[in-house]
Amino acid sequence: MHAFRFDAGILTCDGVVLSTIADRAGTPTYVYSAATLRERVRAFISGFGDYPHAVHYALKANSNLAVVRIVRAAGGLVDANSGGEVEVALRAGYAPADIVLTGVGKTPSEIKKAVTLGVKVINAESAGELERIADTAVSCQTTARVALRINPNIAADTHPHISTGLVTHKFGVPIAEARAIARRADGRPGLAFVGLHVHIGSQMVGLEPIREAAAAVVELARELRDDGVRVEHLDLGGGLGISYDDETVPLVQDYVATLVEAVRPSGLALIVEPGRAVAGPAGALLASVVDIKHRLDGTRFVVLDAGMSELMRPTLYGAYHRITPLTESNAERVSCDVVGP
């Protein structure tokens, strides 16, 4: 589905003229296609067929309350990366059992909130965090469901700044250490150890690293089950890329099929956490040209009213975002630098 298209030379979203939105709401402003959000969530859900699964939308991709409510109505659950995102999920109408809590550096208050609410699972980042969760649960006279995030030392097919699966990265525990940590957590008062979690990067445009990471955690799960450790599910994170410049990216159904193929022999339920792959194709940033500056050397600056605060990625690590005028034109194309205020 292409939410943004030209109709008689005028750019629209779901049939609504974008210049009308700009006139009424002002710029800069974000526009999202509700139809595309629903379609993307449902594509992930339907891709699993009858295989046991749960699709938890990663709120860090876009935690706007209106967006999250659309995701919920389409059948998606949520992956929260902070206490604030847990609160967004609750305000959107989710029950605690619909929420997975992830993230490096969970604060004591975030852990306590997740434990007392009784979220579906807390993805623990370290042995120390498991201990903190256990202590909190015991003090609250309850039991917290936990999974252990694994760092499989697998390079994602993506920009180095958004790769998270190498041992040089801060995320998870090295896979060589995970078996012993999980065994200690299993049966620990205050903890119900239920799964393994892995997420090796964002904006991945190849399936092989994803397949390799899935195979690694499937093998670890087998070892743990042989040890008598309960493993109910594998959370394989998110990271599926989208097309920014007409590049070829895997289809949602091919991505899901790759995960199911890797995990099916284990019989374990699957959790996925798509974020960008849901929200990215649905959104656009509207901005206005406020000045054009010409230099004697021929340099031309087109100054917009949107900058780093509205679109960080290009400045942060050189990411590409296509710029499209709201009205089609046959005017001469010129080279220029598009900048913020």
Please provide the distance, in angstroms rounded to a whole number, between the alpha carbons at the two ends of the chain: 33
Question: Pick from 277, 304, 301, 266: which is nearest to 288 by CA?
Answer: 304
8 plus 43 within the same structural domain:
no
Question: Pick from 164, 177, 112: which is nearest to 140 by CA?
Answer: 112
**pLDDT at position 162, please?**
55
Q: Point out which residues pair with 300 in neighbouring strands.
A: 294
68 plus 12 within the same structural domain:
no
Q: pLDDT tens for residues 165-212?
A: 556 667 789 999 999 999 999 989 999 999 999 988 778 788 888 888
188 plus 298 within the same structural domain:
no
Average pLDDT over residues 273-299: 96
Percent of the chain residues topping a pLDDT of 70: 95
Collect all residues with Cβ–Cβ distance below 8 Å to 212 and sequence separation of at least 6. Answer: 152, 154
* pLDDT higher than 90, residue 255: yes
CB atoms within 10 A of CB 179: 15
User: Domain span at residue 261?
Assistant: 33-281
256 plus 324 within the same structural domain:
no
- Name the residue with higher pLDDT: 24 or 246: 24
Q: Is the peptide bond between 28 and the residue preceding it cis, with omega within 30 degrees of 0?
A: yes
- φ, ψ of residue 53 to 5 degrees: the values are -160, 165
**pLDDT at position 167, please?**
61
Q: How many domains does the chain have?
A: 2
74 plus 8 within the same structural domain:
no
When pLDDT is cut at 50, 70 and 90, the band that residue 156 belongs to is low
When pLDDT is cut at 50, 70 and 90, the band that residue 241 belongs to is confident
150 plus 19 within the same structural domain:
no
- φ, ψ of residue 11 to 5 degrees: the values are -75, 130
258 plus 308 within the same structural domain:
no
Q: pLDDT tens for residues 20-53?
A: 999 999 999 999 999 999 999 999 999 999 999 9
**pLDDT at position 164, please?**
60
Greatest alpha-carbon span in the chain: 74
* pLDDT higher than 60, residue 155: no
**pLDDT at position 169, please?**
67
- The DSSP string of 216-233 is HHHHHHHHHHHTT----E
**Average pLDDT of every residue of the chain:** 93
Q: What is the CATH number of the domain that holds 292?
A: 2.40.37.10
**Residue after which a domain boundary falls, among 238, 261, 281:** 281
74 plus 155 within the same structural domain:
yes
**pLDDT at position 33, please?**
98
**pLDDT at position 168, please?**
60
101 plus 160 within the same structural domain:
yes
Beta strands in the chain (DSSP E): 4-7, 10-13, 16-17, 29-32, 53-58, 77-80, 99-101, 121-124, 144-151, 173-174, 191-197, 233-235, 269-272, 283-286, 289-294, 300-304, 337-339
Question: Pick from 287, 325, 285, 277: which is nearest to 36 by CA?
Answer: 277
When pLDDT is cut at 50, 70 and 90, the band that residue 160 belongs to is low
Average pLDDT over residues 225-236: 96
**Residue after which a domain boundary falls, among 259, 281, 303:** 281
**pLDDT at position 205, please?**
81
201 plus 322 within the same structural domain:
no
Q: pLDDT tens for residues 54-76?
A: 999 999 999 999 999 999 999 99
* pLDDT higher than 60, residue 1: no
**Residue after which a domain boundary falls, among 281, 299, 328:** 281
Q: What is the CATH number of the domain that holds 51?
A: 3.20.20.10
Q: pLDDT tens for residues 128-146?
A: 999 999 999 999 999 999 9
125 plus 191 within the same structural domain:
yes
* pLDDT higher than 70, residue 261: yes
How far from 201 is each of 53, 58, 118, 254, 335, CA to CA, in Å?
21, 13, 28, 18, 33
176 plus 323 within the same structural domain:
no
